[in-house]
Structure 1
Amino acid sequence: MSRPSGAPDETSDVVIVGGGASGLSLAHHLAETGTSTVTLVEAPDGPRRPPERTWCYWERGTGDFAEAVSASWSRLRVHGTDGRTITVDPSPQRYRMLRSTAFERLVHSRLARSPGSRVLRATADTVHDTADGAEVHCTTPDGRALTLRARHVFDSRPLRSLPPARTQLMQHFRGWFVRTDADRFDPAVADLMDFRVPQPRHGLAFGYTLPLAPDRALVEYTEFSRAPLTTTAYEAALAHYCRDILGLGAFTVESAEQGVIPMTDARFTRRTGPAVFRIGTAGGATRPSTGYTFAAVQRQSRAVAAALRDGRVLVPT
């Protein structure tokens, strides 16, 4: 839901800055508790709004977001460098895929049904504490200045730089959503790591295949190293993986996605002032050994919502 702003100053119990996985998740869990009025500030359409992304995670049961899950797998496979495979059943967990557009649509519909919750399309310029809470200074799509006041602000925007650490690597990747001319995939099995790809001089590389149908899949090339590649280098690695290792034959690339995930043992500051908190990757929710974030964000969001319901404020480690 999105509604126009009425006055230059607006007040909520909670303002959430950023409509990515962590911002949407916290808004959802706060709306579920129903004890706080919530304003979720999302970037307007344009260069600040990120492209569609894919989030994967393990979960038991049906979970909170079953309506938005685009695929799931009960078996996971790893290919060694020598071609040998290991296939496991992670039961009672299932491996699930969410696309950001479907997740956003689901959470927005739930916020629309929650009294006191809303989505505001605006650019968050600054966030700072006040004597009785915090303020978020925004610019609306039509150029108006808008001040949002809240008892608590949760900021999910990416950090400008990572905190100091002993280890700082990047998990960086590019993926193709491919459609093959013939059935090439087993939709029941996800290839979590395929180490048959050529290994870089420094770091580690693997392929990643999530079948969506017998003739459709998300195929990714991933590296763990200190710096991302050029798009041209990712494309060459993906072409080699699809053609020479997976043997897909003729196929069409329907869309692509690309990303960089920090892999670090840095300590992330979760509280930047009496009323301002960081959540998601900015608050240290990314698992440093794997890069997985979505499930940790759910645990973090549930803990924050429960704490606010009980009259406390907490962003867990």
Structure 2
Amino acid sequence: MQDADVAIVGAGAAGLSLAHALTSPPGAGRVPSLVVVEPSSSGLRPPPRTWCFWESGAGPYERAVGASWRWLRVYDRRGRAVVRDISPLRYKMIRSSDFEALVGAHLDGLPGVRRAEGTVERVRAVGGGAEALLTTAGGNRLTIRARWLFDSRPRPLPPAARTLLLQHFHGWFVRTRRPVFDPRVADWMDFRVPQPRHGMAFAYVLPTGPHEALVEYTQFSARALTPDAYRAALLDYTGRVLRLGEFDVTSTETGAIPMTDGRFARSSGPAVFRIGTAGGATRPATGYTFATIQRQSRAIARAYRAGRVPVPPRPHRSRSAAMDAVLLHGLDSGVIDGADFFPRLFREVPAVRLLRFLDGATRLHEDLAIGLHTPVLRMLRSAAALPALPRRHFVDPPAPPPPPPPAGAPPGRPGIRGEM
């Protein structure tokens, strides 16, 4: 049995961010004894992926930032481009492996911080705190007790909701033969791809050099695609739209993010709290999660140091959640055309204000002004339909597996060579 002030179940973005916030800077305020529980089996860990967010200046994870951009570009379906300078913000990309290495090195050097590996069988509140029951890789049982326990494991099913869409995606890290990318500009949303009947689809391009970029295809829809369908979509986009010529795929990423107006519980007991996506940190209408996790982690750390109950704050304001519910239902029902909606906002709303809006940091009068740049009648139609919709449990479609390397691909290079 191990005892600690705080136990964190899960060592992904939410778990490691909270561990970092509770111990940064070392020695500041009340620093807890801490146990971070991570899966012992690689099959239970989320696959490597990238996280994107915007912030001003250098953040706490700056050394893990693989690339950042001052300029964002959006293409509508007709190919019209709008480019915006988002300074003083920067749009930043972190790869999960770099984030884990940075935070892991920070934690490994601190006294009172321990790691535990195993499959979590049960989390429950007990007298004076909480405990997690684990089975280690060797088959041993381990009990970890803590005053406070934070659980970031994905929920088996999302909460009852009126609307559930998936933001599902597959991306290629590409290296081209000729210089085709402008590393100063990130293509934030590119709607020059075929649109599904319900929801929407777009691509984005995050260049890290003239020859290198992450090219990703994304859909907001009810179900994920097959590996072959993602591959076909990316071949079409890199060939017909980007005209990359010959290129190599050096690595890939695949995933699915639930986008729902369900009400996420922030605790499952007096001393057991849910964090990250499991606690509703994903912004329902956009899928952005990383920045909300950071705000959530800092708030928990402040409460702990002040001696208060460190319950996670509500991840999104009620006003933001209500607007997201209207947009989600509009996209799902087809009342709102996402391929027109998002380019219009980017074209008509100042970029920094729009990003602050997506972060839930705008005031009421700013929200109302932004609302005037949406299809108002269609939004009202979607809003009017919501009260009659029942909240129900959806079966959460699993994220698709990453497609296997094609025959003949070089070992360790999970990609393709394309001539487009």
Q: Tell me the TM-score normalized by structure 2.
A: 0.72
* CA–CA distance in structure 1, aligned partners of residues 313 and 12 of structure 2: 19
Letter of the 1:210 counterpart:
L
Aligned-partner Cα distance in 2 for 1:288–1:120: 32
**Does the CA contact (< 8 Å) of 2:265 and 2:279 recur in 1?**
yes
Name 2:56's counterpart in structure 1. 60
Cα distance in 2 for residues equivalent to 1:163 and 1:147: 28
The residue type paired with residue 51 of structure 2 is W
Amino acid at match of 1:25: S
Q: Give aligned-pair identity as a percent.
A: 56
Partner of residue 20 from structure 2, selected from 24, 28, 49: 28
Aligned-partner residue type, residue 156 of structure 2: R
Once the two structures are superposed, the pairs formed by residues 1-317 of structure 1 within 5 Å of their partners are 9-32=1-24, 33=28, 34-312=30-308, 313-317=310-314
Q: Take 1:95 and 1:30, find their aligned partners in 2: how far apart are those partners? A: 25
Structure 1 distance, partners of 2:40, 2:89, is: 36
Question: What do residues 100-157 of structure 1 show as CA deviations (whole Å, max 9, x unaligned)?
Answer: 1111111111112222112222222210010111110112222211100000100000
Separation in structure 1 between the aligned mates of residue 164 and residue 275 of structure 2, nearest angstrom: 20
Asked whether the 8 Å contact 2:180–2:210 carries over to 1, the reply is yes
Match of 1:111, SS state, is helix
AA aligned opposite 1:76:
L
CA distance in 2, matches of 1:249, 1:50: 32
Letter paired with 2:114: R
Q: CA deviation at 1:45?
A: 4.0
8 Å CA contact 1:108, 1:119 repeated in 2: no
Residue ranges of structure 2 left out of the alignment (5+ in a row): 315-420
RMSD between aligned alpha carbons?
Answer: 1.0
The structure that is strand-richer by fraction is 1
Superposed structure 1 runs of 4+ greater than 3 Å apart: none
Gapped regions of structure 1 (runs ≥ 5): 1-8
TM superposition score normalised by structure 1: 0.96
Q: Distance in 2 between matches of 1:30 and 1:98?
A: 21
1:6 corresponds to: none
Asked whether the equivalents of residues 197 and 205 of structure 1 are also in contact (C-alpha less than 8 Å), the reply is yes
2: CA distance, partners of 1:92 / 1:45 = 42
Structure (1/2) with the larger helix percentage: 2
Instruction: Work out the CA distance in 1 between the residues paired with 2:205 and 2:187.
Output: 5
For the pair shown, the structure with the greater C-alpha radius of gyration is: 2
- Opposite residue 160 of structure 1, the aligned amino acid is P
